């Protein structure tokens, strides 16, 4: 019996070819474009978040109490090296490093800009956040008295590789000090805090310049296992009462918010598209049932059970919906793979994007969830779309149908 | 007035299932005729009627209307001929569901460019003749079969075509309605001088006409 | 034919209602969406320009590339004379920027110290409105400092601040100033780096009489800005150059273009879906009427006539929906332009991106609304092409036999 129903449903679903084709095209194309947009937006915000974590905060950062408020070297973490070693042993922590940072003024012969000096350990940074990927120009090699510079700051100061920059700041003894630095590399991490302001030098030199101990730090950053992050924050805060422990979301609320907004936006998009898809299937199913109302009347009058008709129609709708889904899967994967490997190249607007912390080529992300949620939504939309037409059949009086159409 | 010379019509020409629907038809219909093409079902009546009305193409031969060959004209020219020279009445009435009886009757005249007053006058004239003047404001689905068919006839007649082609006009009607319809068609033929050609196997129709053209398996029986 | 189309619309209600509603929704949504997008962009720009940047700035040609005291404008008065002759300029003034280290007793920070004419700035920028504490229009050794910078240096009104930098002849400058007022514009970077000082005293310290880094001016109407810039360029000495806000704010303008681009990508998805649904309903409608078209064709309507009929139907439906959506959408957009939606805390979260205000205004721009509506209109007309093509594929005889 079931096989017959399936067969009848299949033939009916594709009986009106143009109609079925239009519907499948509609579902397929809209779904394809929808998941592509979803993937693109996700990719963009994930990329920004990822680069920010890698270049700065990790999932969790520790600062001396008060440092985040006043940003002065007085509030620094001592014995940072030992702390980092201890932190690395904690479950859930995958990487840890420490940095030394100070605000000051960067100057060339003609230009001056407020900036920050960031003392880093290059090997640690490479392990922590693949620092080498941020290199835009020059060489990742600190020679004597040399520095890397954020791309935005380099632009503002009109600095090139080999240029000299003087950085002036107040050290831990409240002395105003200057250091002359030769630029070896230009860095683009897409983290505007650093791209627009930072000069990077070896951590040891920064410590000497600021007259602090070699193992002093302003920040300890941790890469952690996402699942452990919330509990880690509490554990660490308890373990280090003299330090303040922040998660990425607390340090970069705007990025977190952006991600949330993208999610909300994607959900709304998804719902609207699915509602319209539902209206589309409904129209096609409704008319296709009206066309055959006499046929159903005859079937009912010769003793065919109503539930068989219901199954048959539900299967018809599903067949159409799923055909659309598979087209959408194909189109979506096609566009997304292109966007994942080639990216959307917006170099035309590079200046604007870089100034606001975005890379000029946007790569999409592909998540199986896009396709799974769409599959369920399309199944639901297909099944819902036959409710109304089925009611029509249920109300049918077989004798009347045959007579009126005869 | 209408002359068919060696008309042949094949369906699925060149395929194994080829059907030779019309065979070497030579036929002349004179002005003012009141005739029927008769034969068993499937003998080619409708095909012949559609060919005469340039609704359907023919495979070879000529159809001449008032001295002009019309079978091989372009689709646009054929449309023009159907609009201005020929009226159709179908078995299934085929009225436009969204238009009232009056609007259905006046539709062709409207497309021919007559103004409202002319159309209205003519519609009423015909409607009175066909006894549907009290139904002019009704939509087709509110009319009985007989009334719908009269509206269809009125539509065909209203624009004063040279010939009316009526394909099984009584097939969906009971005998009293059939009788009434044939009487009216006869009146039209006599009063308005309209040439009317039926295709029918209804005995009543066959008995009412002045000339019977018999068709068997696509060929004329002489 | 038009009447027949109208009757068909009333007869086939399902299709008409769906098409009408979807058209209405997409047009309405489009108008409002674009207005919010444009509105937030223009308000961001306008805020940025109003606060400090102005609508155009005049520089020595080399200044923006090379910078420094070697490329200052040295004939302020001459430029002022040119500006005073041009109509449509609300205000103008000269600014001289220097950089150095400012220190309180315990803390130091980099500071951009700008010598300004406070009375002119009051008309030109929002420096005065941004006053948070103390005095705006201070004289002598007084500084008017960004609130974030004052906080960082832990200064209160009346405290002393030392400044180390250089005068425009590159001689060393070390001076003691007094904090007399603080401001908060909401532009985070600006508030944590800048301080202002009255020009006469500034000039005595930095030896900068009658020079400036640039001259800034604000147009009365932004739309006149380009023509004003053009007039200025005509009269300006050849070593000077006018930069309009589009050039000054290039990265922000580009960011907005990107944002619009993404906005249009998103909205095109809705159009794609709605276009298909309208087409499907149109197609279904037409396919149930094939027999009717057969009759019409057999009694002498041409394919062109049928096309016209279908065109009229979609035309009437679309026009009707748009006639409802356009005024409604416009009214909403207009309303929110005057009474913007406020999202409390938004400027705090996005301060690094230059968001100054919590308001999200729309932009009411009739031309934009017209093209939005036209897009929906033409998409709808496009959706009937396939059904037209489909009807044409039937000969009259086939169509009449169609079930």
Q: What is the pLDDT of residues C53-75, one digit of tens each?
A: 888 999 988 888 777 788 888 88
Query: What mean pLDDT is predicted for residues A312-327?
Result: 91
Residue C247 falls within a domain, yes or no?
no
| C-alpha separations of C392 from A75, B195, C317 in Å | 81, 31, 22
Q: Is A232 in the same domain as A281?
A: no
Q: In chain A, what percentage of residues exceed pLDDT 90?
A: 41
- Contact residues on chain C for B74, CB-CB shorter than 8 A: none
Please report which confidence band the pLDDT of residue C102 belongs to, taking 50, 70 and 90 as the band edges: very high
Tell me the residue ranges of DSSP E strands in C140-231: 142-146, 160-166, 172-183, 194-198, 214-219
How many angstroms separate the CA atoms of C184 and C349, rounded? 16
pLDDT tens string C292-307? 888 888 878 888 888 9
In-domain check, residue A60: no
Q: How far apart are CA C270 and CA B33, in angstroms?
A: 62
Q: Is C299 on the interface with B (CB under 8 A)?
A: yes
Please name the residue that has the structure tokens 């997409």. Answer: C26
Q: Are C195 and C146 in contact (CB under 8 A)?
A: yes
What is the chain C residue with the closest CA to A72? C107
Residue A227: pLDDT band with limits 50, 70, 90: confident
Same domain? A76 vs A26: no
C390 in contact with A at a CB cutoff of 8 Å?
Answer: yes
Q: How far apart are CA A398 and CA A263, in angstroms?
A: 50
Looking at chain B, the whole-number percentage of residues with pLDDT higher than 90 is 16
Element (H, E) at A221: strand A219-224
Between strands C341-342 and C131-134, the pairing is unpaired
Q: What is the DSSP letter of A217?
A: B
Mean pLDDT of C78-82: 89
Classify residue C243: in a domain, yes or no. no
The answer to whether the Cβ–Cβ distance between B96 and C305 falls below 8 Å is: no
The rounded distance, in Å, linking the Cα atoms of C261 and A278 is: 28
What's the whole-number average pLDDT of chain C? 87
Shared domain check, C325 and C380? yes
**Averaged pLDDT, A120-124:** 93
- Residue A73 scores a pLDDT above 90: no
Residues of C in contact with A158 (CB under 8 A): 65-67
C-alpha closest to that of C179 among C161, C164, C202: C161
- Please say which residue of C206, C238, C270 terminates a domain: C238
In this prediction, residues A146-175 reach a mean pLDDT of 91
Interface residue B9 vs chain C (CB under 8 A): no
Residue A163 within any structural domain of the chain: yes
Q: What does pLDDT average to over chain B?
A: 87
Average the pLDDT over C397-401 and give the result. 78
Q: Is the minimum CB–CB distance between B79 and chain C shorter than 8 Å?
A: yes
CB-neighbour burial class of residue A37 (10 A; exposed 0-12, middle 13-18, buried 19+): buried
Report how far residue C359's alpha carbon sits from residue C339's, in angstroms, rounded to the nearest whole number.
9
Residue C245 lies in a domain: no
Residue C351 pLDDT grade (very low, low, confident, very high; cuts 50, 70, 90): low
Chain C contact set for B88 (CB, 8 A): 298-299
Mean local confidence (pLDDT), B86-114: 83
CA distance B146 to B136: 14
User: In C, residues 5-24, which contact A (CB 8 Å cutoff)?
Assistant: 14, 18, 22
Average pLDDT over every residue of A35-45:
88
Please tell me whether residues A109 and A176 are part of one structural domain: yes
Contacts of C136 (CB under 8 A, 6+ apart): C118, C122, C127, C128, C144, C181, C183
Question: Tokens for A292?
Answer: 């055959």
- The mean pLDDT of C28-32, rounded to a whole number, is 91
- The pLDDT confidence band at residue A350, using thresholds 50, 70 and 90, is confident
Listed residues C196, C212, C238: the one ending a domain: C238
Residue C217 has pLDDT above 70, yes or no: yes
Residues A14 and A87 in one domain: no
Give the mean pLDDT of chain A: 87
In a 3-state reduction of DSSP, which class is residue C396?
A: helix
- Of A207, A222, A194, the closest CA to residue A119 belongs to A207
> Is the same domain home to A198 and A262?
no
pLDDT tens by residue, C193-212 = 999 999 999 999 998 888 89
Q: For the residues A171-188, what does the mean pLDDT come to? A: 91
pLDDT of residue A301: 65
Confidence of residue C7 (pLDDT cuts 50, 70, 90): confident
- Number of folded domains that form chain C: 2
Q: How confident is the model over A192-207, as pLDDT tens digits?
A: 889 889 999 999 999 9
Q: Does residue A250 form part of some domain?
A: no
Any CB–CB contact under 8 A between C139 and chain B?
Answer: no
* pLDDT classification of C325: cutoffs 50, 70, 90: very high
Q: Do C299 and B107 touch (CB under 8 A)?
A: yes
Chain A residues near residue C257 by CB distance under 8 angstroms: 349, 352
d(CA A7, CA A19): 19
Co-location of C229 and C257 in the same domain = no
Q: Are B66 and B12 in contact (CB under 8 A)?
A: no
Q: Are residues A231 and A111 in the same domain?
A: yes
Whether the CB-CB separation of C376 and C30 falls below 8 Å is answered with yes
**Residue C55 belongs to some domain of the structure:** no
- Domain containing C137: what range? 62-238
Same domain, C257 and C345: yes
Are C396 and B55 within 8 A, CB to CB?
Answer: yes
Tens-digit pLDDT profile for residues C142-160: 999 999 899 888 899 999 9
Give the whole-angstrom CA distance, residue A331 versus residue A25. Answer: 10
* Count of domains observed in chain A: 2
Q: Which residues span the domain enclosing A216?
A: 66-241
Is residue C283 located within the same domain as residue C384? yes
Q: Are residues A215 and A110 in the same domain?
A: yes
Q: What is the mean pLDDT of residues B35-46?
A: 88
Section A30-56 average pLDDT: 89
CA distance C168 to C211: 9
B88 touches chain C (CB under 8 A): yes
Q: Kindly state the percentage of chain C with pLDDT values over 70.
A: 98
Residues C24 and C84 in one domain: no
Q: What is the pLDDT of residue A406?
A: 38
In a domain, C193, yes or no: yes
Q: Is C79 a residue whose pLDDT tops 50?
A: yes
Is C232 in the same domain as C263?
A: no
Distance CA A36, CA A26 (A): 15
C281 pLDDT more than 90: no
Give the residue ranges of DSSP H helices in A53-137. Answer: 67-70, 80-88, 122-129
Residues A290, A337 share a domain: yes
Residues C218 and C78 in one domain: yes
Residue A329 shares a structural domain with residue A365: yes
Give the per-residue pLDDT at B103.
Answer: 85
**Same-domain pairing of C18 and C86:** no
pLDDT at A405: 43
pLDDT at A403 over 70: no
Residue C73 lies in a domain: yes
| Residue C128 sits in the same domain as residue C198 | yes
Given a contact as 3+ CB pairs under 8 Å, which chains touch B?
C
The reply to whether residue C110 touches residue A354, judged by beta carbons under 8 angstroms, is: no
Average pLDDT over residues B59-85: 87
Q: Decide if B161 touches C, using CB distance below 8 A.
A: no
C202 found inside a domain: yes
Which residues in chain A are contacts of C103 at CB distance < 8 A?
170, 176
* C398 interface with B at CB cutoff 8 Å: no
Helical H segments across A149-252, by residue range: 151-157, 192-195, 203-209, 229-239, 248-251
Whether A29 sits inside 8 A of C288 (CB atoms) is: no
Together in a domain, A233 and A270: no
Domain termination residue (choose one: C238, C263, C292): C238
Query: Considering only alpha carbons, which residue of chain C is nearest residue B110?
Result: C1
Chains B, A in contact, 3 or more Cβ pairs below 8 Å:
no
Is the same domain home to A223 and A278? no
User: In this model, does residue B135 exceed pLDDT 80?
Assistant: yes
Residues C230 and C323 in one domain: no
CB distance C110–A355 less than 8 Å? no
Q: A321 pLDDT band (50/70/90 cuts)?
A: very high
Same domain as A200, residue A303? no
Interface test with B, best of C6, C299, C396 (most B CBs within 10 A): C299
State how far the alpha carbon of A131 is from the alpha carbons of A125, A134, A135, C127, C325, in Å: 6, 5, 7, 40, 52
Using a pLDDT cut of 90, give the percent of chain C over it.
31
Determine whether the interchain pair B99/C7 forms a contact, defined as Cβ–Cβ distance below 8 Å.
yes
Cβ–Cβ gap C258/A265 under 8 Å: no
Rounded to whole angstroms, the Cα distance separating C132 from C182 reads: 5
User: Is the CB of residue C403 less than 8 Å away from at least one CB of chain B?
Assistant: no
Instruction: Give me the sheet containing B195-199, strands edge to edge.
Output: B86-89, B163-167, B195-199, B34-38, B211-216, B219-221
Whether this prediction's pTM lies above 0.80 is answered by: no
Averaged pLDDT, B190-212: 88
């Amino acid at each position: 019996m079931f096989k017959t129903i399936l067969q009848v449903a299949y033939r009916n679903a594709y009986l009106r070819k143009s109609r079925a084709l239009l519907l499948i095209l509609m579902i397929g194309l809209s779904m394809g474009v929808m998941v592509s947009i979803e993937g693109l937006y996700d990719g963009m915000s994930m990329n920004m978040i990822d680069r920010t974590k890698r270049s700065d905060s990790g999932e969790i950062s520790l600062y001396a109490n008060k440092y985040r408020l006043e940003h002065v070297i007085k509030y620094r973490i001592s014995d940072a090296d030992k702390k980092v070693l201890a932190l690395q042993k904690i479950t859930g922590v995958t990487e840890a490093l420490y940095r030394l940072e100070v605000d000051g003024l960067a100057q060339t012969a003609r230009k001056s800009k407020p900036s920050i000096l960031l003392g880093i350990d290059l090997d640690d940074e490479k392990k922590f956040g693949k620092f080498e990927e941020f290199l835009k120009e020059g060489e990742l090699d600190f020679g004597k008295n040399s520095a890397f510079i954020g791309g935005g700051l380099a632009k503002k100061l009109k600095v090139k590789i080999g240029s000299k920059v003087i950085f002036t700041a107040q050290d831990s003894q409240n002395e105003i000090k200057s250091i002359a630095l030769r630029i070896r590399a230009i860095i683009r991490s897409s983290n505007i805090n650093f791209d627009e302001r930072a000069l990077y030098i070896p951590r040891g030199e920064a410590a000497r310049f600021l007259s602090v101990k070699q193992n002093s730090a302003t920040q300890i950053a941790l890469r952690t296992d996402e699942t452990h992050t919330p509990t880690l924050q509490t554990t660490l805060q308890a373990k280090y009462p003299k330090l303040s422990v922040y998660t990425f979301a607390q340090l970069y609320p705007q990025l977190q918010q952006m991600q949330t907004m993208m999610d909300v936006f994607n959900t709304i998009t998804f719902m609207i598209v699915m509602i319209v898809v539902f209206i589309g299937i409904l129209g096609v199913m409704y008319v296709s049932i009206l066309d055959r109302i006499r046929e159903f009347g005859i079937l009912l009058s010769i003793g065919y059970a109503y539930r068989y008709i219901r199954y048959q129609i539900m299967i018809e709708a599903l067949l159409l919906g799923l055909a659309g889904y598979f087209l959408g899967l194909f189109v979506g994967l096609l566009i997304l793979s292109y966007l994942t490997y080639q990216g959307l190249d917006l170099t035309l607007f590079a200046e604007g994007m870089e100034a606001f912390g975005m890379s000029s080529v946007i790569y999409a992300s592909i998540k199986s969830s896009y396709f799974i949620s769409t599959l369920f939504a399309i199944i639901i939309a297909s099944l819902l779309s036959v409710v109304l037409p089925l009611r029509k059949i249920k109300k049918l009086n077989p004798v009347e149908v045959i007579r009126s159409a005869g | 007035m209408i002359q068919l010379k060696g008309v042949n019509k094949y369906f699925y020409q060149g395929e194994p299932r080829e059907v030779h629907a019309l065979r070497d038809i030579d036929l002349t219909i004179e002005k003012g005729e009141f005739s029927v093409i008769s034969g068993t079902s499937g003998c080619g009546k409708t095909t012949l009627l559609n060919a005469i009305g340039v609704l359907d193409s023919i495979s070879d031969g000529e159809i001449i209307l008032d001295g002009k060959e019309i079978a091989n004209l372009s689709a646009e020219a054929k449309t023009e001929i159907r609009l201005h020279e020929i009226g159709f009445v179908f078995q299934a009435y085929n009225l436009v569901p969204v238009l009232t009886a009056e609007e259905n009757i006046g539709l062709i005249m409207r497309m021919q460019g007559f103004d409202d007053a002319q159309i209205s006058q003519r519609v009423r004239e015909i409607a009175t003749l066909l006894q549907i003047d009290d139904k002019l404001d009704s939509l087709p689905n509110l009319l009985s079969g007989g009334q719908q068919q009269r509206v269809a006839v009125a539509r065909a007649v209203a624009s004063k075509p040279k010939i009316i082609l009526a394909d099984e006009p009584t097939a969906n009607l009971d005998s009293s309605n059939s009788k009434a319809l044939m009487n009216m068609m006869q009146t039209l033929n006599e009063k308005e001088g309209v040439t009317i050609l039926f295709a029918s196997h209804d005995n009543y129709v066959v008995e009412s006409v002045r000339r019977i053209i018999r068709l068997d398996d696509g060929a004329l029986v002489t | 034919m038009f009447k027949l189309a109208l009757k068909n619309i009333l007869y086939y209600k399902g299709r008409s209602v769906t098409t009408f509603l979807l058209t209405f929704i997409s047009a309405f949504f489009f108008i409002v969406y674009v207005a919010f997008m444009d509105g937030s962009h223009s308000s961001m720009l306008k805020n940025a320009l109003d606060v400090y940047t102005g609508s155009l700035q005049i520089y020595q040609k080399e200044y923006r590339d090379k910078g420094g005291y070697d490329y200052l404008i040295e004939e302020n008065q001459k430029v002022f004379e040119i500006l005073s002759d041009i109509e449509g300029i609300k205000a103008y003034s000269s600014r001289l920027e220097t950089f150095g280290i400012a220190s309180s007793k315990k803390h130091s920070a980099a500071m951009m110290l700008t010598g300004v004419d406070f009375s002119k700035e009051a008309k030109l920028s929002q420096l005065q409105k941004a006053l948070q504490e103390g005095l705006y229009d201070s004289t002598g050794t007084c500084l008017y400092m960004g609130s974030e910078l004052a906080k960082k240096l832990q200064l209160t009104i009346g405290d002393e601040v030392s400044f180390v930098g250089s005068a425009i002849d590159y001689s060393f400058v070390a001076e003691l100033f007094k904090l007399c007022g603080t401001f908060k514009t909401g532009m985070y970077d600006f508030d944590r780096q800048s301080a202002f000082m009255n020009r006469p005293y500034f000039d005595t310290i930095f030896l900068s009489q009658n020079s400036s880094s640039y001259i800034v001016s604000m147009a009365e109407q932004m739309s006149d800005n380009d023509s004003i810039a053009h007039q200025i360029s005509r009269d300006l000495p050849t070593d000077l150059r006018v930069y309009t806000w589009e050039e000054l704010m290039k990265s922000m303008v580009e960011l907005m273009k990107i944002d619009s681009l993404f906005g249009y990508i998103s909205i095109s998805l809705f159009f794609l879906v709605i276009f298909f649904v309208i087409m499907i309903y149109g197609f279904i409608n037409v396919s149930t009427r094939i027999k009717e078209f057969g009759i019409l064709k057999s009694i002498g309507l041409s394919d062109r006539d049928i096309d016209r009929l279908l065109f009229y139907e979609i035309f009437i439906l679309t026009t009707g929906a748009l006639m409802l959506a356009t005024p409604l959408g416009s009214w909403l957009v207009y309303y929110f332009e005057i009474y913007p939606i406020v999202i409390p805390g938004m400027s705090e979260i996005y301060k690094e991106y230059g968001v100054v205000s919590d308001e999200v205004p729309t932009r009411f721009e009739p031309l934009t609304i017209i093209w939005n509506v036209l897009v929906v209109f033409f998409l709808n007309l496009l959706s009937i092409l396939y059904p037209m093509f489909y009807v044409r594929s039937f000969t009259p005889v086939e169509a009449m036999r169609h079930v």
